[in-house]
Amino acid sequence: MRLTFEIQDLRTRHAFHIARAAAPPTRPTVWVRITDDEGHEGWGEASASPYYGETVDTVAALLPRFAEAIGAAEPFDPLRLEALEAAVARTVRRNPAARASVSAALHDLAGKRLGVPVWTLWGLSPQAVTSSFTIGIDSPERVRERIAEAAEYPILKVKVGTPRDAEILAMIRTEAPDKKLRVDANTGWTVKGALRLLPVLEECGVELIEEPLPADDHDGLRLLRERSTIPIIADESCRTADDIPRLAGCVDGINIKVAKCGSLREAVRMVHIARAHRLRVMLGCMVESTLGIAASIQLAPLVDDVDLDGAALLADDPFTGPGLERDGRIRFNDAPGLGVQRS
């Protein structure tokens, strides 16, 4: 088999800011292709996030090493996925998006060789699930425009973590009185600030609070959870399955992202370990094309909450395949592998 890759720009429809990072409307991404000796191609996307120590350059630097680790010269054996992922993980401990792109490409290739969708490889079947749609941090006028554009989505996830949170949330609640509202502070609050905002969040009927505090503030999370009637979900605090046991008791659930945990198999392992700790499980994403989102959708039947709108935020998506309908419902497909086509 042979591993090749290309770097391309993804353009979001609007600038997309979160509490810990302002983001330009264009961001580079890496597409990985693994071709086997029969001509099948497995594809994966590496959505590199500087917060987790990655850029397209670090991804590009590692991919040739991963190619070597999986024995790119050897014939591909779809039954050795676990060993191939382990070989990639032994090459480098961190760099999860780079590893995840190879994991996705290997799973895509295995599904294509066996003629089944990746979800079938795990004994899953498509379920009726609806994703939230994310509203970034912006001026009240722009947020109002975004809410109007998101009219068909029944669940909104609102990025918070600015001095205007209370004002913005009250405005959103007025504009969208019937939608489910979730908030994500991306580590942007202090315990004191979060406690002060709790009555506003409860008043607005917010149903989930994601990553309110700095990622290592477990005591703060525990205290906030004791005071909050709204469930708290760990995202930045929970990178891999190993983080889960010490978060139990501090949060109500975790947000799994394939590009954050490093592989599809690690994501499945996180689901199992979270369930063992009676935690709610959310499946999230980065700003990714349908190629990246399709890898996560394979896991959607395993989780409680889905936030897979990364490709829905793009101005143009170079891939078609599994994704979100205009009303946020997750669309699976029966095509082998990840079910993605380059358009």
Q: Which is nearer to Mg ion, 184 or 288 (CB)?
A: 184
| Minimum separation from the CB atom of position 181 to Mg ion (A) | 15
Q: How wide is the angle at C-alpha 211 spanned by C-alphas 134 and 296, nearest 5°? A: 55
| Minimum separation from the CB atom of position 77 to Mg ion (A) | 36
Q: Which residue is nearest to Mg ion (CB)?
A: 235
Neighbours of 28 (CB within 10 A): 15
Q: Between 165 and 184, how does the x/- string for binding to Mg ion read (CB under 5 A)?
A: -------------------x
Q: In sequence order, what DSSP letters do the residues of 307-326 get, joined into one string?
A: ---TGGGBS--SEESSEE-T
The residue range among 21-29, 129-137, 205-213, 330-338 that interacts with Mg ion, by the rule CB under 5 A, is 205-213
The residue range among 82-90, 98-106, 204-212, 219-227 that interacts with Mg ion, by the rule CB under 5 A, is 204-212
Q: Which is nearer to Mg ion, 184 or 309 (CB)?
A: 184
CB neighbour burial string for 166-186, b if at least 16 within 10 angstroms, e if fewer: bebbebbbebbeebbbbbbbb
Q: Which is nearer to Mg ion, 165 or 210 (CB)?
A: 210
Q: Which is nearer to Mg ion, 106 or 143 (CB)?
A: 143
**Token pair for residue 272?**
């199992």
Q: Can you tell me the distance from the alpha carbon of 124 to that of 334, in angstroms, rounded to the nearest whole number? A: 12
Residues 207-236 that bind Mg ion (CB under 5 A): 210, 235
| Minimum separation from the CB atom of position 2 to Mg ion (A) | 35
Residues 21-40 that bind Mg ion (CB under 5 A): none
Q: Can you tell me the distance from the alpha carbon of 55 to that of 42, in angstroms, rounded to the nearest whole number? A: 22
Q: Which is nearer to Mg ion, 45 or 210 (CB)?
A: 210
| Minimum separation from the CB atom of position 235 to Mg ion (A) | 4
Q: Which is nearer to Mg ion, 85 or 184 (CB)?
A: 184
DSSP state of 255: E
Q: Closest Cα partner for 199 from 175, 169, 155, 158?
A: 169
| Minimum separation from the CB atom of position 284 to Mg ion (A) | 6
| Minimum separation from the CB atom of position 88 to Mg ion (A) | 25
Please count the residues of the chain: 343
| Minimum separation from the CB atom of position 109 to Mg ion (A) | 30
Q: Between 181 and 200, how does the x/- string for binding to Mg ion read (CB under 5 A)?
A: ---x----------------
| Minimum separation from the CB atom of position 158 to Mg ion (A) | 11
Q: Closest Cα partner for 157 from 229, 235, 264, 219?
A: 235
Q: Can you tell me the distance from the alpha carbon of 100 to that of 292, in angstroms, rounded to the nearest whole number? A: 9
Q: Which is nearer to Mg ion, 81 or 215 (CB)?
A: 215
Distance of CA 214 to the CA centre of its chain: 19
| Minimum separation from the CB atom of position 127 to Mg ion (A) | 22
Q: Can you tell me the distance from the alpha carbon of 306 to that of 282, in angstroms, rounded to the nearest whole number? A: 6
- Pairing state between β 2-11 and 26-35: antiparallel
Task: List, edge to edge, every strand of the sheet that includes 253-256.
Answer: 133-135, 155-159, 180-184, 206-210, 232-234, 253-256, 280-283, 305-306
Kindly determine how many residues on this chain lie close enough to bind Mg ion according to the rule CB under 5 A: 3
Q: Which is nearer to Mg ion, 67 or 241 (CB)?
A: 241
307 lines the binding site for Mg ion (CB under 5 A) = no
Q: Between 233 and 252, how does the x/- string for binding to Mg ion read (CB under 5 A)?
A: --x-----------------
- Angle at which helix 81-91 crosses helix 96-114, to 10 degrees, equals 160
Q: Which is nearer to Mg ion, 36 or 235 (CB)?
A: 235
Q: Contact residues for Mg ion (CB under 5 A)?
A: 184, 210, 235
